[in-house]
Structure 1
Amino acid sequence: MTNHLILVTGATGSIGRLAVEEAVREGHRVRMLTRRSGQKALPNGAEVVLGDLTRPDTLTAAVAGVDAVIFAHGTYGSVRNAELVDYGGVRNILLALGDQRAHLALMTAIAVTDRKGAHDWKRRAERLIRASDMSYTIVRPGWFDYNDADQLMPVLLQGDRRQSGTPRDGVIARRQVARILVKSLFCPSADRKTFELVAEKGLEPQSLDTLFAGVDADISGAVDAVHDATNMPLSDEPQTVLDEFRQIEGRRRARAGSVA
């Protein structure tokens, strides 16, 4: 296996730390982005880099030379925090990458298209990932660790139709979310796909390729995921969001022009 260098944001959080462990177990080198020094008992193959997702000037060292980024950071409830961290963190990492190519895996949430407060900012982060035109997978997990012990069969849904705001929408183990984020990075059948992730009764498969292959890829040039409701027109977005979207999109076009 190629020894890739993966940057994990939210690396000390409940999903991020599991993604770090999974990536190391898979033979990758891992760079853990954190705002605080003094991390202890790091897995072999992991390093810490200091940086703040809300401060672009602190992210240059974090992205230097990386082959992939796992966005495992996230906030809950506060619209302002979602804007600064969930959305702003993705924007700032993409801008820090500049012309550097990387595989991207972004975690948002099930029901992200429900137009409820903070979810709009998570959805805008998804749009930036698509606009970057890099290889990506966007994972929208259900409710963490509400699954039963025998509920380990991952199911990938599309269209984001489960929006009750309760565990009835779907449940999934944190460990499985981390595994799928890592596995998606260099898997061709996961490329440019967005899906909701839940679990049903059954065993966890050894390989995820068939699961990834069973969902539709996003439409090239579309701002939203394939099968999603078109209920957040780009034309209605705040001007700052439009400007940042076009900035990311413009870098993609510049890269395409240089290749041509």
Structure 2
Amino acid sequence: MNAVAPPAEILVVGATGSVGRLVVEEALNSGYRVRALVRDRARAEKILPVQASLIVGDVTQLETLPAAVDGVAGIIFTHGGGAGEARDVDYGAVRNTLFALGGRPARVALMTAIGVTRPIDAARLEAETRGWKRRSERLLRASGLPYTIVRPGWFDYNEANQHQLVFLQGDRRRTGTPRDGVVARRQIAQVLVASLSSAAADRKTLELVAEQGAAQTDLDPLFASLASDPSDALDAVRDQDNLPLAGEPASFREDLQRITQPSSR
């Protein structure tokens, strides 16, 4: 399953967030049937379009997710946790959703962040948010599912005429400031949705920024210009190998083993 075209049904995880709600809108406008995973139905009803089907669940509780993923052709992750929630939310949402799928096919688009591969001090290895975001990427790559991983720059720091999208690879912009790149939330949503229906986007990881100029109407050439991630690698094709698996938390290594052995899920 290299592409998922409308009117397929997709699930949005993080649907009520600042990017997630735009993903819901863009997906509906593109002709998808949209299922939104939410914790608070009443709040979600005030935020999301009425055309979206609301599924109540908690990304930190695997047992609440099977109904959400049942029958979906694609999943878009735009979630993010607060302080101290990286392990349970930023990583846990991907972990639990993949396990809830139980080996069933789905096309996945995952939003993480530019600079996610920046080296982490050993003393903060388990606490640092970007470490858990990177682990969510690694787990998705190991799952064998078709995917696109989007690492956006700073949200909505772009100027009024700064909408020409640029896809980068290698994650070399690591200042932790808007100098690393900026992009509009709406355009992040558009790229995530477009990746589902693009065969050229399969198994691609990219940093997403915008430069001066008009937005492109066709994103396939941008996806096609990227190198694919190796099928046997945990990290993206041009990422630096600076997070040895042997030094990763035992819980992650156990998850990795489980995701690569479908019979044990």
Q: TM-score, structure 1 length as denominator?
A: 0.94
How many angstroms apart in 2 are the aligned matches of 1:146 and 1:133?
35
1:100 to 97, 104, 114: 104
Higher relative contact order (CA 8 A, sep 6+): 2
User: In the alignment, is residue 173 of structure 1 matched against residue 179 of structure 2?
Assistant: no
Task: Verify the 8 A CA contact 2:6 2:33 in the aligned structure 1.
Answer: no
Report the Cα distance in structure 1 between the residues aligned to 2:180 and 2:14, rounded to whole angstroms.
24
Match of 2:172 in 1: 161
After TM superposition, list the pairs within 5 Å mapping 1:74-153 onto structure 2: 74-75=80-81, 78=83, 80-116=84-120, 117-153=128-164
Per-residue CA deviation, residues 59-104 of structure 1 (Å, 9 max, x unaligned), is 111101000000010135x3x3111001011000000000210000
Structure 1 stretches lacking a partner, 5+ long: 256-260
SS at 1:40 equivalent: helix
Whole-angstrom distance in 2 between the partners of 1:140 and 1:51: 25
Q: Could you say if the C-alpha distance between residues 27 and 44 of structure 1 is closer, same or farther in structure 2, counting changes exceeding 3 Å?
A: farther
Offset, 1:45: 3.3
Report the secondary structure of 2:165's partner residue. strand
**Matched letter for residue 60 of structure 1:** P
Could you state the TM-score of these two structures normalised by the residue count of structure 2? 0.92
Query: Which amino acid letter does the alignment assign opposite residue 73 of structure 1?
Result: H
What's the secondary structure of 1:32's corresponding residue? strand
In the TM superposition, what whole-angstrom CA distance separates every residue of 1:189-247 from its partner, at most 9, and x where no partner exists? 10000010000001111110001011111011100001101000111111111010111
Q: How many residues align?
A: 251
Q: What letter matches 1:5 in structure 2?
A: E
In structure 1, which of residues 192, 197, 222 is the aligned counterpart of residue 203 of structure 2? 192
The answer (yes or no) to whether the contact 2:14–2:20 under 8 Å persists in 1 is yes
Tell which deviates more after alignment, 41-50 or 96-105: 41-50
Matched, 1:40 2:45: yes
Mapped partners of 1:126, 1:114: distance in 2: 14
Letter of the structure 2 residue corresponding to residue 40 of structure 1:
E
Q: Does 1:13 align with 2:24?
A: no
Question: Matched residues in 1 for 2:100 and 2:41: separation?
Answer: 21
Amino acid aligned to 1:236? G
% identical aligned pairs: 54
Give 1:69's aligned residue. 75
Give a deviation string over 1:149-186, Cα, whole Å, max 9, x none.
Answer: 10000101111000001000000000000000000012
CA shift at 1:44, angstroms? 5.1
Q: Which runs of 5+ in 2 are unaligned?
A: 121-127
1:216 aligns with 2:227: yes
Cα offset, 1:118, TM superposition: 1.0
Runs of 4 or more above 2 Å deviation: 39-45
Distance 2:132 2:38 in 1: 22
Contact 1:31 1:46 in 2 (8 A): yes
